[in-house]
Structure 1
Amino acid sequence: MSQPSSQKQFVENHTVDYVPPAERHGKARDLFTLWFSTNIAPLPIVTGAMVVQVFHLNLLWGLIAIALGHLLGGAVLALASAQGPQLGIPQMVQSRGQFGRYGALLIVFFTALIYVGFFISNIVLAGKSIHGIAPSVPMPTAIVVGALSATAIGVIGYRFIHSLNRIGTWVMGSALLAGFIMMFTQELPADFFSRGAFNLSGFIATVSLGTIWQISFSPYTSDYSRYLPREIGIAKPFWATYFGATLGTILCFSFGAIAVLSVPEGVEAMDAVKQATGWLGPILMVLFLLNIISHNALNLYGAVLSIVTAIQTFFASWTPSVKVRVVLAAVILLACGAVALNASANFISQFIGLILALLVVLVPWAAINLIDFYLIKKGEYDIASIFSADGGIYGRFNHHAIIAYACGILVQLPFANTALYVGPYSNLIEGADLSWLFGLLVTAPLYYCLATRAKATQAAKAPKPVTVGH
């Protein structure tokens, strides 16, 4: 039986089922704090440092490229997030309305794999952070502590994740601001403004990196907006998500770039942060550790929902309980913990490279998702059909979506520059992976044409209304 929204449960009682209007709660500003706080962490700082260390841009052009990339990609993320209040279901479940009940399984599988990959990488990173802050804690113990902490947050669920990030926004935002002040009050190297220069390949590579960074979150954004009241509309959740995600990542990427410019050339990114921020450095390391754990709870939460979605595809009458979510979280924890404990020294860089290569499958999905929701169905989906054993009006497979999706993947391959595959045109612009751009440019219009043609055909076959004469 559904519980009224006035009863605030500590542990979330929904999994992938529809959230009824009586249980909706929260404000659009909750999305700002979630996505702002989530992105203030070591990984975006290290990635931002690449703008200077790998792409060799100077401060001015580096900051422009960072901002442009995230502002472009953030639109995709925010448009996905705005769907949650309208439908009240997780993003991967919604994909059944676009790909068909069984057609959605492939993207659900890839999404779960990506979540699990990032979960493993982050528990290794959390373990290294704990060991670095307290060397007396053995590395295996540190990894277990990081993994258990993230799992506890993920199991408790939606409301607790939002609450943590509301606090995290003020704490991490203030810490980042203090870090900027510390860096600029210290003596800066003579080449702070002149190190690096504008180069087209570095600029486009940075823009591409920022765009892909934002798109990579889109498969689970509506998971964190689906409890908001439908009446909240689309504009408010869009702008709250957009400004939260883009502002948090732009600040964090910029922090990494400025940190490595604030110290002699060649210093590793997180060491540069510690050196450039003086006495504040150790405090920042502790706060970053806490945010790694909090952020990793999102990866676990998304992985569990994706796996539940896949299983529930074959058992339409099954409504998974919170116990199922807890059991699945425990299984993922044990499996990922075993991998993390046996990880090599360069595991994080290798594994992230592998996972980022899989993002090629997310770009065409994002294009289909946005075209279908905003231009084809205009936000109107039949929830009963989405949970129906035969797919209801969406069927078991939507061949138009599957064809567009396959074409979107294939068209990226010649331009891909990943750890798994390097295409013949991967260096169209040296150092920049432009495969995502071709994926979007092909998938979006192709799916729109196929979907509108199918819609017109169905309308033509529909029986004409009979007019009764007077």
Structure 2
Amino acid sequence: MTTRNSATLSPPRRRAGPEVRSIDWIPAEERHGKTRQQGPFWFLTNFHPMTAALGLIGPGLGLSMGWTILAATAGVLFGTVFLALHGSQGPALGLPQMIQSRAQLGYRGVIVVLFAALFIFIGYNVIDTILIDAGSHTLFGWNKTATGLSIGLLAVVLAVWGHDWLHRAFRVLFWLSLPLWLLLTYGMLTGHAGGHPVPALGFHLTAFVAIFTISASYNITYAPIVSDYTRYLAHSVSSRALILTVYLGASISAIWLIALGAWLGARFGATDPFVGVHDASNHVLGGSGALLVILGGLALIAVMGLQTYSATLTVLTALNCFHPVRNTQWRRIYITVLLGALGTIIGVWVVHDVTAAINNFVVIMLYLLAPWTAVNLVDYFLIRRGHYNVAEILNPNSLYGRWAWRGLTAYGLGVAAELPFMVLTFYQGPLVKSIGGIDIAFVVAIAVAGVAFFILGRSQRAVPDATGQQLSQALSRHEVAQQAANIAVIDTVIDRPGQIAPARLATTAAMEPLVTGEPS
């Protein structure tokens, strides 16, 4: 193929400064990173005291350390399946996670789950702020207001710099904190970490199921953001390798630190994860406790940056549902600042009871996300099998529709099916007592929403794969590739996959597999 001039879809990547992209499609020339780097990244998302805090819940409910660890392990292994499967969608489609859901829920219909996702991102940051504030005040006497404002600022700065800097920060913190967590774990296993058994702990079915549910939800709640951090990978990466890497990273760290938290609760009677980790670590090696909780706090701040970054992408997606907006770098930055400020204000001045917040918040997140993840994964893996028209996902008059009734109906049925089985401190479903008080709501939601969409979705019309020309037009309309005028039109264009016709874009050959979104 000959060209008259060179063409680019976007400016060169500015990896030293704030990220240029937001909710737009990532072209081939900007793809970078390796599958193996996803392991430490998703490992660190759970490698901090917030995860250990979940382990404290079991002993607090009267569940022994062994039963808490078993329930948590089963829950994490189950919940991480959904997290990991979503990860493969990023390289295939080159889009953030939530905007992809337009294919199931419609260009505007996706707003239904966007609010749920935004609630999750901000809520997590509130809880993280409370945990760091409480722990640092107890251990070091730091002023809670000053600490809360400082960690909020650090999280915002990291989110503003964006994707590449988040990956860098996560890798650095992973390697810095790993030796200290290993040292603490060694001390616990050998008896050098101190502590003594807390009496009156045993097995309670309701508590066991509660820990399973909370642990499953912990990684499922990352499902709305996974593609945000895999979308820059090359389309050619192996989907299976990526799924396995994400799965191992996210599950191993979660099981490890929830088990560690269960030990702190059962042997130390700990109620604050920062204080428990600090004291146990000092028993193993004097002075190591302060260093470990500081590194753990920094890891948690990095995760707050991750949540703020994804919250910004969610807001931009929501704004585009009803009125096209220019997704400029500065728009992403000031929305990031506003969201970071909101989470910090709530965490510092509004919410104070972290135990109640964790118990209710994590489960509510699961209730909202379970039917969505079922609909999304059934569509991606069982119905469309990875074939999506990226141009139509970005098109306000999309062939996927503005309000996709099939996906919305399946999601609504999933949420409705949960109501009789929900278990919260302020609400219990009418069928909960009849099944012994255990919480199976999210399992019911996944089954109902998944089956409903599998039945309804098979009757939806097929959307043809996009051509390179269609994608460039969609990018121009979407105003995410702001140099669309620089795209040089050359000799040929793809009329449909596999058949060449005159007038093609220079970059079509490189874009063709990315546009169809076919998984490896």
More deviation, 165-174/249-258: 165-174
Structure 2: distance between partners of 1:25 and 1:86: 14
User: Is residue 438 of structure 1 aligned with residue 420 of structure 2?
Assistant: no
Structure 1: distance between partners of 2:156 and 2:96: 19
Query: 1:96 maps to what in 2?
Result: 102
Query: 1:117 maps to what in 2?
Result: 123
CA contact (8 A) 2:131 2:354 kept: no
Amino acid at match of 2:151: G
Query: 1:23 maps to what in 2?
Result: 30
When residues 373 and 129 of structure 1 are mapped into structure 2, their CA distance, relative to the original with a 3 A threshold, is same
Structure 2: distance between partners of 1:156 and 1:326: 9
CA contact (8 A) 1:97 1:394 kept: yes
Q: TM-score, normalised by structure 1?
A: 0.89
Query: 1:328 maps to what in 2?
Result: 335
When residues 190 and 112 of structure 1 are mapped into structure 2, their CA distance, relative to the original with a 3 A threshold, is closer
Give 1:172 shift: 2.4
Give 1:125 shift: 2.8
User: Is residue 271 of structure 1 aligned with residue 275 of structure 2?
Assistant: yes
When residues 74 and 90 of structure 1 are mapped into structure 2, their CA distance, relative to the original with a 3 A threshold, is same
Q: Deviations over 1:118-155 (max 9, x none)?
A: 222222333334434442x4221111101001110011
Query: 1:297 maps to what in 2?
Result: 305
Map 1:45-84 to 2 at 5 A.
Answer: 45-59=52-66, 61-84=67-90
Give 1:203 shift: 2.9
User: Is residue 244 of structure 1 aligned with residue 252 of structure 2?
Assistant: no
When residues 123 and 231 of structure 1 are mapped into structure 2, their CA distance, relative to the original with a 3 A threshold, is same
Structure 2: distance between partners of 1:430 and 1:343: 35
Query: 1:464 maps to what in 2?
Result: none
Structure 2: distance between partners of 1:109 and 1:158: 22
Structure 1: distance between partners of 2:132 and 2:354: 13
Give 1:379 shift: 0.7
Instruction: Show structure 2 runs of 5+ residues with no match.
Output: 1-8, 465-520
Structure 2: distance between partners of 1:445 and 1:199: 32
Query: 1:142 maps to what in 2?
Result: 147
Match of 2:42 among 10, 35, 38: 35
Map 1:63-212 to 2 at 5 A.
Answer: 63-135=69-141, 137-183=142-188, 184-186=190-192, 191=197, 196-212=201-217
Give SS of 1:223's match: helix
Give 1:197 shift: 3.2
CA contact (8 A) 2:56 2:271 kept: no
Give 1:344 shift: 4.8
When residues 365 and 345 of structure 1 are mapped into structure 2, their CA distance, relative to the original with a 3 A threshold, is closer
Q: TM-score, normalised by structure 2?
A: 0.81
CA contact (8 A) 1:55 1:203 kept: no
Query: 1:225 maps to what in 2?
Result: 230
Give 1:425 shift: 2.1
Amino acid at match of 1:155: V
Q: How many residues align?
A: 450
CA contact (8 A) 1:37 1:172 kept: no
More deviation, 352-361/20-29: 352-361
Map 1:368-383 to 2 at 5 A.
Answer: 368-383=375-390
CA contact (8 A) 2:221 2:365 kept: no
Aligned-residue CA RMSD in angstroms? Answer: 2.3
More deviation, 80-89/284-293: 284-293
User: Is residue 423 of structure 1 aligned with residue 429 of structure 2?
Assistant: yes
Amino acid at match of 2:76: H
Amino acid at match of 2:43: F
When residues 319 and 101 of structure 1 are mapped into structure 2, their CA distance, relative to the original with a 3 A threshold, is same
Give 1:343 shift: 2.5
User: Is residue 361 of structure 1 aligned with residue 368 of structure 2?
Assistant: yes
Give 1:224 shift: 0.5
Structure 2: distance between partners of 1:124 and 1:421: 24
User: Is residue 2 of structure 1 aligned with residue 7 of structure 2?
Assistant: no
Give SS of 2:202's match: coil
Query: 2:492 maps to what in 1?
Result: none
More deviation, 438-447/48-57: 48-57
Question: Between the two proteins, what is the percent identity of the paired residues?
Answer: 26
Q: Deviations over 1:339-383 (max 9, x none)?
A: 333235326633762464243121100000000001111111101
Structure 1: distance between partners of 2:436 and 2:272: 24
Structure 1: distance between partners of 2:209 and 2:36: 32
